[in-house]
Structure 1
């Protein structure tokens, strides 16, 4: 690839290295310069432009990212469409992410042009959660380099990425009792264990409560095996301190064996790993009575994912195994089984609000207010729009009222929305927009601006826009398109609030797109809903039946 200043006579077909603003036109970074673009540059007085020009054998960034993603995709893993040299890999089901770390490191060592970033190995993931991103750094990759990376990606005994779905296992729990043990302690152990199992799609069999004696525990283990237990757990009234203690000895007495005692994870040091036949049998550390994250969680996750846990596996958990709360490194462990640890906080979805503009006077359909005209199912158009927005991940949903405020609010009665009244709605669209912006919560990183007369835009479409929103990646404005035509609604980063506040008259914020074209991304939709508004009685009659929420 040839990179650098290029005379305009040689620029046709080259890739623009940096966004350029020309009179009445913006050329975006990464676009291929055609005759019209070269002519616009020449008219602007430029004689050269910084470009990347592909050489024989070079593979464009999107194609390269797509090919590497193909080599890495396996069962239970989905992928996004290549864009700006990036493809994201996503889990199709809840489970445990298992990585071939050596192979991924080898791919990243092939060449600086290719990168693969992943979640940590053995991370619990949910359906649709991103597990990795493939990013091609330059505009193109030499074909020979890409071929080597593809060979490395496919070169192992199994896939480099694997999602092991959680299995709905039956689990037996033995609680041992000693005189003086509080009932609340026993109940807490059952509650914490049940919550862990539910999160992994497991079922807790009726609990066996017995004396803290080897024989009684062994007999309880036998009863649970006969009841169909696929994992056996022992929560002792007294912490296990040796592999010959009551809990481990009961496993041996019941016909099993002890594979390992202790683990390099704190809390969780005193976990004992055993087996009765093919059934894993564990003596739990005292910390397992708490819902806080501990080493037992890591072992349990692997077992539910169908992975055999050996002594070697347990001994390899030390790096990253310091989970204990200390003053200088607080960790909300009581929430850990349900939420990812702080180091994974960036994985949370972006906080996006929605503003539904429903303040207009509906001049073209006067004297009717088009937003209140009901469809064949008796649902006012504004209610259909709001229902679709509520079906998306956007929160909160703010409805801007103006003309016939009381009637619009009545039409939306019972729906979980916030109302913002535009006192100056007669001044035009800008007044409604400002009223909605003023109601945005400070935590909203972005906001959808939805029009009250576009009832065919579904919640799924809005979620596609939200998924594409990433200001740090340069996607601060997200615009839907259909067959190349730009539509609505648009999603904006809050970085544009100040500019929007200065808009006046009967106009929205769309003109800001040209000013910030290098911060905008287009998302192609499967149908023309993002282009269709309903301004006349005839159009309303053609409105298809609603599918609440879309």
Structure 2
């Protein structure tokens, strides 16, 4: 099955696998691609890479080479708004085609990785990704595997949504209600509004209007209804989310007639959070931490809403495992464990 040829006698023969070149601290990558026809000029280069012999693989029926295997696996797991490239050193990478929410079927991923020889690695599900971001990779461990392993993978994928997909963000019109006597009367500058505008802009949505109201229940409810009547597709409320007697935002959200999904989240920062639904329009009460922390409950919930998902109480409860921000000196969310 494997023919060993001295490199000096390999001119005109085709490589059966990629050959890697490593220069410590400078380069690691493919020096020769599978299928390359060896020329006389290649002989010194191959010998510099330590290739005194060339292995030519003649696979019998029933076995599949690593490159073809990785290509076939990628084809089975690649879902909407994700693409995959050609094999490189036996591995295929899957890349987001556009900005959106990454979705990974974690149970299916475990089932596929339990198959012989097959490995698939992904980023965590439910995180925002940019177009061009590598979101998954796959390869087999040996140089070749039994075709039956690929057939079993195909069968497991057949009755499931794609393992890896990206849900594009919807571009919504956002209404913003800022509460607080100190801001309403001009005693201090509103610093929350600009932060929220930028967060939504980065996700492809726009804050259509901001209404500043005093700490009065009727005024907050009126602002919610005003923005809804103007066409807001989501209403975000800032301020008044703690437990002080004059923090009235949660009560105002309830008084608006909205159905509360959850009040309180097992995420630090972001515990004093409320999510409600007002006739199909999400109402979000944001705690103050969203103003000065890069990663909070906002980053864990809002992208899912913008991707068209319905976030349930059970979804929020599940955030507790990983819901403690490590407080890194330099925040690198979403490339961390927060909310994962």
Do the aligned residues in 1 keep the contact of 2:18 with 2:90 (CA within 8 Å)?
no
Q: Are the structure 2 counterparts of residues 180 and 114 from structure 1 closer, same or farther at C-alpha, using a change threshold of 3 Å?
A: closer
Matches within 5 A, 1:449-528: none
Question: What is the SS of the residue equivalent to 1:316?
Answer: helix
1:95 match: 100
State the structure with more CA Rg: 1
Do the aligned residues in 2 keep the contact of 1:69 with 1:87 (CA within 8 Å)?
yes
Q: Are the structure 2 counterparts of residues 253 and 69 from structure 1 closer, same or farther at C-alpha, using a change threshold of 3 Å?
A: same
Question: What is the SS of the residue equivalent to 1:209?
Answer: strand
Q: Are the structure 2 counterparts of residues 17 and 181 from structure 1 closer, same or farther at C-alpha, using a change threshold of 3 Å?
A: closer
Q: Are the structure 2 counterparts of residues 212 and 323 from structure 1 closer, same or farther at C-alpha, using a change threshold of 3 Å?
A: same
Per the TM alignment, residue 136 of structure 1 is displaced from its structure 2 partner at its CA by 2.5
Question: What is the SS of the residue equivalent to 1:70?
Answer: helix
1:262 match: 264
CA distance in 2, matches of 1:191, 1:35: 60
CA distance in 1, matches of 2:32, 2:204: 47
Q: Are the structure 2 counterparts of residues 264 and 148 from structure 1 closer, same or farther at C-alpha, using a change threshold of 3 Å?
A: same
Q: Are the structure 2 counterparts of residues 313 and 191 from structure 1 closer, same or farther at C-alpha, using a change threshold of 3 Å?
A: same
* Correspondence 1:72 to 2:74: no
| Structure 1: 5+ residue stretches without partners | 21-27, 345-550
CA RMSD of aligned residues (A): 3.4
Per the TM alignment, residue 16 of structure 1 is displaced from its structure 2 partner at its CA by 6.9
Matches within 5 A, 1:197-208: 197-208=200-211
TM-score (norm 1): 0.51
Per the TM alignment, residue 255 of structure 1 is displaced from its structure 2 partner at its CA by 1.7
Question: What is the SS of the residue equivalent to 2:323?
Answer: coil
CA distance in 2, matches of 1:183, 1:105: 55
Per the TM alignment, residue 147 of structure 1 is displaced from its structure 2 partner at its CA by 0.7
2:241 match: 239
Per the TM alignment, residue 258 of structure 1 is displaced from its structure 2 partner at its CA by 1.2
2:325 match: 323
Q: Are the structure 2 counterparts of residues 176 and 31 from structure 1 closer, same or farther at C-alpha, using a change threshold of 3 Å?
A: closer
* Correspondence 1:54 to 2:59: yes
Per the TM alignment, residue 96 of structure 1 is displaced from its structure 2 partner at its CA by 0.7
TM-score (norm 2): 0.81
Do the aligned residues in 2 keep the contact of 1:17 with 1:52 (CA within 8 Å)?
no
Q: Are the structure 2 counterparts of residues 210 and 146 from structure 1 closer, same or farther at C-alpha, using a change threshold of 3 Å?
A: same
Do the aligned residues in 2 keep the contact of 1:64 with 1:136 (CA within 8 Å)?
yes
Q: Are the structure 2 counterparts of residues 18 and 62 from structure 1 closer, same or farther at C-alpha, using a change threshold of 3 Å?
A: closer
2:254 match: 252
Residues paired across the two proteins, number: 315
CA distance in 2, matches of 1:176, 1:341: 33
**What per-residue deviation string (whole Å, max 9, x for no partner) do you get for residues 482-524 of structure 1?**
xxxxxxxxxxxxxxxxxxxxxxxxxxxxxxxxxxxxxxxxxxx
1:332 match: 330
Do the aligned residues in 2 keep the contact of 1:104 with 1:153 (CA within 8 Å)?
no
CA distance in 1, matches of 2:190, 2:153: 54
**What per-residue deviation string (whole Å, max 9, x for no partner) do you get for residues 7-47 of structure 1?**
88xx9889479789xxxxxxx8885799999xx9xxx9x99
CA distance in 2, matches of 1:203, 1:29: 49
Match of 1:119 among 110, 118, 123: 123
Do the aligned residues in 2 keep the contact of 1:30 with 1:139 (CA within 8 Å)?
no
Matches within 5 A, 1:75-474: 75-111=80-116, 113-156=117-160, 158-179=161-182, 183=186, 186-236=189-239, 238-241=240-243, 246-290=248-292, 292-325=294-327, 330-333=328-331, 340-341=334-335
| Structure 2: 5+ residue stretches without partners | 22-30
CA distance in 2, matches of 1:78, 1:210: 47
- The structure with the largest helix share of the pair is 1
Q: Are the structure 2 counterparts of residues 289 and 34 from structure 1 closer, same or farther at C-alpha, using a change threshold of 3 Å?
A: closer
Per the TM alignment, residue 161 of structure 1 is displaced from its structure 2 partner at its CA by 1.5
Q: Are the structure 2 counterparts of residues 86 and 182 from structure 1 closer, same or farther at C-alpha, using a change threshold of 3 Å?
A: farther
